[in-house]
Amino acid sequence: MATEREPIIRVRNLEAGYGENAILENVSFDIREGERFIILGPSGCGKSTLLRHMVGLNPTRRGSITIRGMEVTGEDETMFQKIVREIGFLFQNSALLGSLTVAENVALPILEYTDLPQSCVEAVVQIKLAQVNLSGFGNYLPSELSGGMKKRAALARAMAMGPGILFFDEPAAGLDPITLAELDSLILYLNTNLGTTMVIVTHELSSIFTLGQRVIMLDKEAKGIIAEGDPAELRDHSPHPLVRRFFNREPRDSGNGRGA
């Protein structure tokens, strides 16, 4: 069971925001090795903000985040470079460079962080493309790919360094239900077969129930976590009305026919 494993990510008393606006306050949780962990909640509750802090893209106001005991929120550049090798990040919009081929995009982190000869780089790229079912598409430009293929190409790039942890920011964005189901199946396969820890921000219920072993739910007004646990248990038994409404697709005011 994932709950029996040692935490590899620890977030403690995190405060995050922009300018004078505090979005998250006093947020604490652990993520364990090999776990499929989902961060969810209504729009504007700070899901993507939390994720960006966890991978070091945004500085914290207060609190700490550690990955395998290394402090993400510190200023030690050597330590941060070690952390970068441990993680991969799939951006919401895929963030592929349009002027580069798929293979060149996947090769970027390998060229940046290793001294492997070109032949080895090319071999690793082909392995990563095969893992996301994109063999034969290395010479394509991102503009020549479908939305689902762009996501998989970005996933191959996130996996290029063989990270033990993958972070996903709204992987469902822009995908039709069938393509989303295929991406969820791929994420599940990679987690099961490679043991990769998955940290996923999403509000897509189908993905939450397919992938989520444990979730935390954020709330804008609370500026933090209002629920944690198995998604099915929260759907059926949470005492919090907002949690139940979220999982059961119920509007905030079902009596007057207007949603949030």
Q: Is residue 47 scored above 50 in pLDDT?
A: yes
Residue type for position 103: A
Q: Using one digit for the tens of pLDDT, what is the confidence trace for 206-222?
A: 999 999 999 999 999 99
Domain covering 34-58+76-247: architecture: 3-Layer(aba) Sandwich (3.40)
CA distance 74 to 83: 11
CA distances (Å), origin 204, targets 110, 210, 247: 32, 10, 10
| pTM score | 0.90
- Average pLDDT of 6-10? 92
CA 125 – CA 129 distance, rounded (Å) = 6
pLDDT, one tens digit per residue, over 228-238 is: 999 999 999 99
pLDDT band at 104 (very low <50, low <70, confident <90, very high): very high
CB atoms within 10 A of CB 145: 18
pLDDT digits (tens, 9 = 90+) for 165-224: 999 999 988 899 999 999 999 999 999 999 999 999 998 999 999 999 999 999 999 999
Domain boundaries, the chain: 34-58+76-247
Cα torsion angle, 52, 55, 58, 59, sign:
positive
**Which tokens hold the place of 232?**
């099915």
- Strand 7-18 and strand 21-32: the pairing is antiparallel
